[in-house]
Amino acid sequence: MIYGFEGQLPELKGERIFIAPSADVIGAVELHEDVGLWFNTTLRGDLEPITIGRGSNVQDGSTVHTDQGLPTVVGENVTIGHNCIIHGCTIGDGSLIGMGSTILSGAKIGKNCLIGGGALVTGGMDIPDGMLVLGSPAKVIKPLKEGVIARSLENSARYVRNKDKYLKAGIGKV
């Protein structure tokens, strides 16, 4: 469902946006072309704005929220895996956030990063571009090889194709 909140309505900036029937999009949320919001996701822009960039996907069971003074900005072609918590942070283009990860307020994840499943990226952590990050609390492990980055980008492209199938089947909103 799409809800306005305190005069703020979600903005759909594209014609090929998939919002699963069980997803909730509330308040100051901006969704760009080819975004996919999968089943049981919540995007709650009630404190600060949320922006989801072109070609990005937020998978089943994930929550995206903000903190006072800390909007959430998700770049282009980002994959946010199942059951993640994304809170008042910035995620760079082409990054993949593994299933069950938590990204806390004020964290900045660079472009083309891979955050391993179950990671806890603590508040204010600043991760450079192209890094593998693992653990709870999360630590930068090493730079990613080009092949790993290419596979992450293919994953986001696969989700764009999949959401198109759902839209064609009449499931979800544009």
Could you tell me which of 108, 114, 120, 115 has the C-alpha nearest to residue 145? 114
**pLDDT tens readout for residues 21-64:** 999 999 999 999 999 999 999 999 999 999 999 999 999 999 99
Residue 173: what pLDDT?
A: 76
**pLDDT tens readout for residues 116-150:** 999 999 999 999 999 999 999 999 999 999 999 99
Q: Are 89 and 105 in contact (CB under 8 A)?
A: yes
Amino acid at 23: A
40-43 contact pairs (CB < 8 A, 24+): 43/10
Q: Give me Rg for the CA atoms of the chain.
A: 15
pTM over 0.95: yes
Distance CA 94, CA 89 (A): 15
Could you tell me which of 132, 136, 100 has the C-alpha nearest to residue 121? 136
Could you tell me which of 26, 25, 35, 74 has the C-alpha nearest to residue 57? 35
The strand pairing partners of 64, in sequence order, are: 43, 86
Distance CA 54, CA 148 (A): 21
Per CATH, the homologous superfamily of domain 2-167 is Hexapeptide repeat proteins (2.160.10.10)
Using the predicted structure, report yes or no on whether residue 161 has a pLDDT greater than 80.
yes
Query: Tokens in use for 132?
Result: 């593998």
Phi, psi (deg, nearest 5) at residue 155: -60, -45
